[in-house]
Structure 1
Amino acid sequence: MANHLRFFAIHAEDVERAKTFYEAVFDWRITPWGPPGFYLIQTGAEGERAVGGALQQRQEPVTGTGIKGFECTVGVDDLDAIMAKVTAQGGTIAMPPYTIDGVGRLIYLEDTEGNRVGAMQYDPAYAAAFF
């Protein structure tokens, strides 16, 4: 697996309103999964492999004039090697490795400009089913 964008998350104040918007605008299929207020997004046609996503309740308040955007996760083969490269290139590990059972190991890193990005070493069974 190459280092491809594999997953994104949209954080919303009003999850139901955002769900209606993205379904109508992009024809995405958005279905409940996991805890209340958490949905999986399928961006491709039925049976088509595409970038996966999530729609979830915003956990941090948006203040000031900061940019609101998607949270992206890059699928990687070796999470430990990626962490070493991040720090060697002047980035930081914003969240240490966290295992999501049945999905994989996740970190959040910050690049040299302070942008936050996820990196996930997916469980092979999960990756085969979704990617």
Structure 2
Amino acid sequence: MKNAVNWFEIYTSDFKRAKKFYTDVFKCTLTDLPVSNDRHSQMEYAVFAGDEQAPNARGALVKLDVAPPGIGGTLIYFDTADIEHTLSRVESAGGKVIRPKQDIGEYGFIALIEDSEGNMIGLRSME
């Protein structure tokens, strides 16, 4: 059975700043994809590294005129081995800790942060 979620997009207002935030906090690679822009909408797109055949969701950072960032949209959780270690990099990367590490029983631990664009995202780990 495939995961119910197989793609996500995180909207940005400052594309370069958002790319720096995600690479600094999660120590991941983002690859710019060329997109065709028309007179109606300008878009920038960078995909998070991953294996297309793996069972996990893949996704991208997106700058799109018609989709502004912000809290209240879709909430996604990034997997992390150590939430406290990841949280320690958030503020220096331009983000904010919204809710510190919280125990959710047999499902592990979660935390909420605000990225450099004002999006709320989650962190989740088993330890």
Report the TM-score, using the length of structure 2 for normalisation: 0.43
Question: Whose strand fraction is larger, Structure 1's or Structure 2's?
Answer: 1
